């Protein structure tokens, strides 16, 4: 792999990792509002490390729901990580139980996007590891910050945090959707179709469910056809 390619992958991974990791402030504040102690919020981020499931869990707890309901909601949203794991296993090919467990802990939306977007296996591993490490460190640090005092943030600051993640994803996705990009046109149509499914469902389903539905739709649209070359 060339030095320029490595630099580009690291830039995307660290940039996206910092942007996404900062959203941990919002989770820390939400956990505090739901009645979790700061140490409980931090342990949740350290062990679960999947934002949608974490927000779903504290959302149910904050609304007065019980533990089983909160866990069930988190597990539902976490199913998409299983789909990602199936896709990433042959690409990253971690060896040994310890490496497999460590890799599984970092399988989330953003690390999957970074790995799949890389042009070869070496860069896929680099993007996954750099992105995963950056998000994990920043997410957990900002979770603690949020749990200790981010509830005092004003509405303007909260709105800015809400815009960080989609803006970062758009920056990563846009070059892959431009006319003349290297990916086949069918791949762009599948990606846009998945986005359309997610957007259409957003007003009607709990947060995160639209992501699961979009993943299923994309998987069905991209499955091999009988007789295809």
CA distance 100 to 173: 28
Q: Report the pLDDT value the prediction gives residue 229, as an integer from 0 to 100.
A: 43
CA distance 103 to 43: 19
pTM of the model: 0.68
Q: Report the pLDDT value the prediction gives residue 206, as an integer from 0 to 100.
A: 63
Per-residue pLDDT of the chain (229 residues; tens, 9 = 90+): 678 888 888 888 898 889 888 888 888 888 887 888 889 999 999 999 988 888 878 877 877 777 777 787 788 778 888 888 888 888 888 888 888 888 888 999 889 988 888 888 888 899 999 999 999 999 999 999 988 875 565 556 555 555 554 554 455 556 555 555 455 566 667 777 777 887 887 787 665 566 666 666 666 665 555 544 4
3-state secondary structure 118-168: CCCHHHHHHHHHHHHHHHHHHHHHHHHHHHHHHHHCCHHHHHHHHHHHHHH
Question: 109, 100, 103: which is closest to 53 by C-alpha?
Answer: 109
CA distance 51 to 23: 9
Q: Report the pLDDT value the prediction gives residue 165, as an integer from 0 to 100.
A: 47
Q: Report the pLDDT value the prediction gives residue 184, as an integer from 0 to 100.
A: 54
């Amino acid at each position: 792999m060339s030095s320029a390619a490595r630099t580009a992958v690291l830039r995307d991974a660290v940039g996206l990792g910092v942007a996404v990791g900062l959203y941990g402030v919002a989770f820390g504040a939400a956990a505090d509002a739901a009645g979790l102690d700061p140490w409980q919020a931090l342990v949740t981020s350290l062990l679960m490390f999947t934002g949608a499931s974490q927000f779903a869990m504290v959302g149910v707890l904050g609304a007065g729901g019980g533990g089983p309901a909160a866990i069930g909601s988190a597990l539902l949203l976490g199913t998409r990580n299983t789909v990602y794991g199936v896709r990433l296993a042959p690409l990253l090919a971690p060896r040994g139980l310890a490496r497999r467990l460590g890799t599984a802990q970092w399988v989330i939306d953003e690390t999957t996007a970074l790995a799949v977007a890389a042009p070869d296996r070496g860069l896929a591993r680099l993007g996954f590891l750099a992105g995963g490490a950056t998000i994990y460190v920043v997410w957990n640090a900002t979770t603690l910050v949020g749990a200790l005092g981010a509830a005092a943030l004003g509405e303007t600051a909260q709105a800015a945090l809400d815009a960080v993640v989609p803006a970062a994803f758009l920056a990563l996705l846009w070059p892959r959707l431009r006319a003349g990009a290297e990916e086949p046109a069918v791949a762009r149509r599948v990606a846009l179709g998945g986005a359309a499914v997610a957007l259409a469902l957003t007003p009607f389903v709990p947060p995160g469910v639209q992501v699961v539905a979009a993943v299923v739709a994309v998987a069905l649209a991209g499955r091999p056809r009988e007789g295809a070359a």
